[in-house]
Amino acid sequence: MIVVWGCIETTEEHLQQVLTLSLEHVHRSRAEPGCISHSAQIDAENPNRVVFFEEWESMDALKTHFSVPASSEFVNQVARLSVSPPEIRAFAAEPVKLG
């Protein structure tokens, strides 16, 4: 499994637009093959920061997601509304049993 973490920091003025774009992206992404989960949250310590958490079945599925034109358009749109470049990190992971 591939886990993706990302964030976008914006201004109070642009927050609603970033949230709207983010939720459109999340809902579209969830329908893509190989998407296990995809979500966006507001950071409790910085309400102008939107944090993304994603799980993908494989690196191939994630690469396909990145190649979808709507994905790159989303990044371009929110980058224009951000106070700094959007961050994204991907990790290869496997579930472990707790307890």
Do residues 57 and 43 touch, judged by C-beta distance below 8 A?
no
| CA atoms of 76 and 97, how far apart (whole Å) | 38
What would the pLDDT profile of 39-69 be if each residue is shown by its tens digit?
Answer: 999 999 999 999 999 999 999 999 999 999 9
Report pTM: 0.91
Task: Write down all domains in the chain, each with its CATH number in brackets.
Answer: 2-92 (3.30.70.100)
Do residues 34 and 65 touch, judged by C-beta distance below 8 A?
yes
What confidence score (pLDDT) does residue 95 get?
86
